[in-house]
Amino acid sequence: MAARSQELFRKATRLMPGGVNSPVRAFRAVGGDPIYMARGEGPRLTDVDGRTFIDYVLSWGPLILGHRHPEVMEALAGVMETGTSFGTCTPAEVELAERITEAYPSLERVRLVNSGTEATMSALRVARAATGRDKILKFEGCYHGHGDSLLVKAGSGVATLGLPDSPGVPRALAELTITLAFNDLAALEEAFRVHRNELAAVILEPVVGNMGCVPPAEGFLERLRNLTAEQGTILIFDEVMTGFRVSYGGAQELYKIRPDLTTLGKVIGGGLPVGAYGGKASLMDQVAPSGPVYQAGTLSGNPLAVTAGLKTLEILRRPGAYEKLEALTRTLAEGLRSRAVHAEVAVTVNRVGSMFTLFFTPHAVTDYTSAKTSDTARFATFFRALLGRGVYFPPSQFEAAFVSLAHSDEDVAQTIKAAGEAFARLARGK
């Protein structure tokens, strides 16, 4: 029994909306009460009741090195000797900006912020200011944070909880957001015909992670790049999740596409709150104080997040880092698929680099509609079976899972074994 977690949740429900500070943590999609974690170490989490789990959530992606990497912790201990936040310029923020722009040639200028949501909101403001247009285009199931313009047909927790598209968002603002199915080239062509020279920006996750992991179809990103360039529309890659995750240079390096603006987060903070947006100098020089587009933040570029990010990127640049991530995640994805086939449980496994999703559907998952064919009840049963065997997957069918450099071959083998037992239980209808 998770007695301490249950006690904490009962108290939390009196103090916080739904008892949580972020919706997916509430376990509404998988049943039962949420687990309260007490400690992370390497690839594992330990809860307040003393149970240990192999972790494939990794704080929703940032912990690509695993929990409490000793070099990151040492670097943080060092900066704690100097202070936590000054509200001034610091040397380390300049160094992190340099590392980011080196890794992402499309980012000629970059601005550090405090979250992915802040980054995407700011990038859209720049795009609208630069083009003098108001309309934006996004894709169903792509989540870009909880900014008003971006909560229309969003994925992530909105999909998990089955919430309406945009409650609380003014109708006039929602009407400026056009949505399309991801990977639908015909719909993309039609949208650019109907809204010719009216779109300020197109924003997308080049590899979607917030309806589960969904890669781009062949030619989709290329055609999108061409259409936006032809009509003077700003192409924004939301690489908050994929940045430094699917490769050191993110999805834009992997697919050889250069966007106009990019948003980053998660990995660049090494587990601390961080975000960034950047792109062409001609666009970013419109941001205050260089230009009239206002954006500011008291904690932006704070020494703790910047230090953790710098050490994380340093470790990721070492030889073999991404080869190890690729090999571990490939083995895990293939093992999950094989065990499901053996148990005669219909699943689809999508993977790009070290992010993946196991969908409980026999159909290929290429967009939000196909992702929603998943059997969420079966996923919930599978999730709870894994949890009982010491494996922590995302508590939602519509969230990507992640592998870290701290995971070992033994961890992966143990996970595949646990999944095999969970699939067998599903096949028996239990």
Catalytic residue among 56, 104, 143, 368: 143
Whose tokens are 């996004």? That residue is 138
Q: How far is CA 417 from CA 49, 79, 163, 273, 350, in A?
A: 24, 42, 35, 34, 19
Residue 166 pLDDT greater than 90, yes or no: no
Nearest C-alpha neighbor of 198 from the set 171, 172, 232, 221: 232
DSSP string over 250-306: HHHHHHT---SEEEEEGGGGTTSS-EEEEE-HHHHTTBTTTSSB----TTTT-HHHH
Query: Residue 160's pLDDT is what?
Result: 39
Predicted confidence (pLDDT) at residue 6 exceeds the cutoff of 80? yes
Q: What's 177's domain CATH number?
A: 3.40.640.10
Of 56, 104, 184, 266, which is the active-site residue? 266
Same domain, 62 and 85: no
Q: Are residues 108 and 191 in the same domain?
A: yes
75 and 63, same structural domain? no
Domain identity same for 109 and 183: yes
Catalytic-labelled residue, pool 184, 238, 260, 411? 238
Size of the chain, expressed as the number of residues it contains: 430
- Average pLDDT along the chain: 93
* pLDDT digit string, tens, across residues 335-390: 999 999 999 999 999 999 999 999 999 999 999 999 999 999 999 999 999 999 99
Q: Which of 276, 291, 316 is the last residue of a domain?
A: 316
372 is catalytic: no
Same domain, 407 and 418: yes
Of 257, 290, 316, which marks where a domain is finished? 316
Residues 273 and 365 in one domain: no
Residues 69 and 87: their CA atoms lie apart, in Å, by 27
Beta-carbon neighbour count of residue 167 at 10 Å? 7
Residue 428, pLDDT score: 85
238 is catalytic: yes
pLDDT tens-digit readout, 68-112: 999 999 999 999 999 999 999 999 999 999 999 999 999 999 999
Q: How many domains does the chain have?
A: 2
Q: What is the pLDDT of residues 280-323, one digit of tens each?
A: 999 999 999 999 999 999 999 999 999 999 999 999 999 999 99
Are residues 308 and 339 located together in one domain of the fold?
no
Q: Give the residue numbers spanning the domain of 253.
A: 70-316
**Integer Cα distance of 194 and 173 in angstroms:** 19
Same structural domain, 179 and 309: yes
Q: Are residues 238 and 283 both part of a single domain?
A: yes
Residue 146 binned pLDDT confidence (cut-offs 50, 70, 90): confident
pLDDT band at 430 (very low <50, low <70, confident <90, very high): low
Which whole-number Å values give the CA distances from 101 to 289, 320, 423, in the listed order?
Answer: 20, 22, 44
For residue 426, what are its two tokens? 């599903």
Overall average pLDDT of the 135-154 stretch: 78
Boundary-marking domain end, from 283, 316, 349: 316
Q: Verify that 49 and 113 share a domain, yes or no.
A: no
CATH classification of the domain holding 413 = 3.90.1150.10
Same domain assignment for residues 28 and 149: no
The answer to whether residues 178 and 89 belong to one domain is: yes
Q: Which residues contact 414 (CB under 8 A, 6 or more apart)?
A: 54, 390, 391
**pLDDT higher than 50, residue 163:** no
